[in-house]
Amino acid sequence: MFADRVLSGMRPTGNLHLGHYHGVLKNWLTLQQQYECLFFVADWHALTTHYDTPGIIEQHSRDMVIDWLAAGIDPAKATLFIQSKVPAHAELYLLLSMITPLGWLERVPTYKDQQEKLSEKDLSTYGFLGYPLLQSADILIYRANLVPVGEDQAPHLEFTREISRRFNHIFGKEPDFENKAAQAIKKMGSRQGKLYSELRTRYLEQGDENALIEGRSLLNEQQNLSVDDRERLSGYLEGRSKVILPEPQTLLTRASRMPGLDGQKMSKSYGNTIGLREDADSIAKKIRTMPTDPARIRRSDPGNPEKCPVWQFHQLYSSAETRNWVQQGCTSAGIGCLECKQPVIQSILDEQAPILERARMYEADPAQIKKIITDGCEKANQLAEETMRDVRAALGLSYL
């Protein structure tokens, strides 16, 4: 009923690093070629944990959008916007809160986990408890069916699906639905109408999946049905009411293969990152001072790449030929570690070159950045409004 639409968001909490690039952004680059995509800066979400440093939001949001564009996100293909510039997210969040059981929020695993992890902050706030619900509003307001996120966010998507089902169940009832469905069946003509009713009974009373499939294709063949009637009968067939907020699917992003400088996963909290737009000298210095196989104390000591974080970088960046050279040279002490690191430095700088080039172009033209964001926000507001009209009507709020 609704066309495929991808939505994802990122919190503006600091500069992006190569882990974001390999984990998230490269995935977005593929998606923007295939689907309608909406990517947004989740600045309200950032405030749920960083409410005590509001001053950083603006700079981080701007830098993050530049990072996205520099990575190759194309504003002609994807809509880029800022959450707080689409206030309807907050309206939907409020309306969804009316039907959100407190227990559902308390049960979301990130709630307690994050409170423990960020124990230096007071996260016993209403806003932090509501974090997953705000995320649900972000998704449902665009009727986005595909949401690319990492493993850690899967519970938030599951929560979103539960909220959408509950919403549709409570508010998806059209007044006089049964009658309207009966009228629509009549429009199918007596033979086809009878067949539809039989298939519906077979599915609803006997759980016959084939009857459901047949019923759907029967509906697809109907020439006389309006879009509304078709939607009504499709819901009636499945024993559900109208879908106002469709359930989104999780597009699980594979964990980033990007290692950090110490061999652990690259992450700001481990202090082992290389920034997406970090300058060349600093990158070279970080790689040169990276730990290697501790067995290689002297240049003449042979090593084992499996025990060396630099090898993980070679696996990500180097050709088979270079990897061979590393294997041979390391285990025979034929090459030194600095020598071994040189191709890694070069590959990172090569990968970075087009990113820096695009970033320079955008940095030099703040008016263009502003236009990309304002256009994106305008588009997002329009799309959000389409859903909100139905939501307000369903809640009895479309008066005056």
Of the candidate residues 64, 86, 330, 383, the single one contacting ligand SF4 (CB under 6 A):
330
The residue range among 8-16, 153-161, 227-235, 289-297 that interacts with ligand SF4, by the rule CB under 6 A, is 289-297
Residue 11 engages ligand TRP in binding (rule: CB under 6 A): yes
Our CB check for ligand TRP shows the closer of 136 and 222 to be 136
Site for ligand TRP in 150-179 (CB under 6 A): 153
Cα dihedral 357, 254, 41, 164 sign: positive
Our CB check for ligand TRP shows the closer of 130 and 343 to be 130
Q: What interhelical angle do 57-71 and 26-34 show, nearest 10?
A: 70
Our CB check for ligand SF4 shows the closer of 81 and 313 to be 313
Residue 17 engages ligand TRP in binding (rule: CB under 6 A): no
Longest dimension (CA), the chain: 90
Q: Which does 310 bind (CB under 5 to 8 A by kind): ligand TRP, ligand SF4, none?
A: ligand SF4
Residue 256 engages ligand TRP in binding (rule: CB under 6 A): no
**Token pair for 102:** 């407190």
Residue pair 152/113 in contact (Cβ under 8 Å)? The answer is no
Site for ligand TRP in 117-136 (CB under 6 A): 135
CA distances from 25 to 31, 149, 244 (A): 10, 11, 30
Residue 341 engages ligand TRP in binding (rule: CB under 6 A): no
Residue 258 engages ligand SF4 in binding (rule: CB under 6 A): no
Written as one letter, the residue type at 296 is R
* Distance in angstroms (rounded) separating the CA atoms of residues 46 and 10: 9
The residue range among 8-16, 86-94, 371-379, 390-398 that interacts with ligand TRP, by the rule CB under 6 A, is 8-16
Cα dihedral 359, 361, 366, 370 sign: negative
The residue range among 131-139, 259-267, 271-279, 288-296 that interacts with ligand SF4, by the rule CB under 6 A, is 288-296
Find the shortest distance in angstroms from Cβ 347 to ligand SF4: 14
Site for ligand SF4 in 290-329 (CB under 6 A): 292-293, 296, 303, 305, 308, 310-311, 326
* Distance in angstroms (rounded) separating the CA atoms of residues 187 and 196: 12
* Distance in angstroms (rounded) separating the CA atoms of residues 340 and 345: 10
Per-residue DSSP letter, 22: I
Of the candidate residues 45, 232, 242, 296, the single one contacting ligand TRP (CB under 6 A):
45
Our CB check for ligand SF4 shows the closer of 242 and 341 to be 341
Our CB check for ligand TRP shows the closer of 8 and 272 to be 8
Residue 7 engages ligand TRP in binding (rule: CB under 6 A): yes
Per-residue contact track with ligand SF4, 223 to 252, x per CB under 6 A?
------------------------------
Helix H or strand E segment including 58 = helix 57-71
Our CB check for ligand SF4 shows the closer of 276 and 330 to be 330
Helix H or strand E segment including 147 = strand 146-149
Cβ count within 10 A of residue 95: 18
Beta bridge partners of 259: 265
The residue range among 26-34, 57-65, 145-153, 231-239 that interacts with ligand TRP, by the rule CB under 6 A, is 145-153
Find the shortest distance in angstroms from Cβ 51 to ligand TRP: 16
Q: What interhelical angle do 366-394 and 88-97 show, nearest 10?
A: 30
Our CB check for ligand SF4 shows the closer of 15 and 327 to be 327
User: Cα 77 to the chain's mean position, in Å?
Assistant: 16
Site for ligand SF4 in 338-357 (CB under 6 A): 340-341
Per-residue DSSP letter, 305: G
* Distance in angstroms (rounded) separating the CA atoms of residues 41 and 62: 9
CA distances from 392 to 103, 139, 175, 385, 399 (A): 25, 17, 15, 10, 9
Residue 293 engages ligand TRP in binding (rule: CB under 6 A): no
Q: Give the phi and the psi of residue 53 in degrees, each rounded to 5.
A: -130, 60
- What is the residue whose two structure tokens read 């920034």? 275
Find the shortest distance in angstroms from Cβ 124 to ligand SF4: 46
List residues near ligand TRP by CB under 6 A: 7-11, 42, 45, 135, 138-139, 147, 149, 153
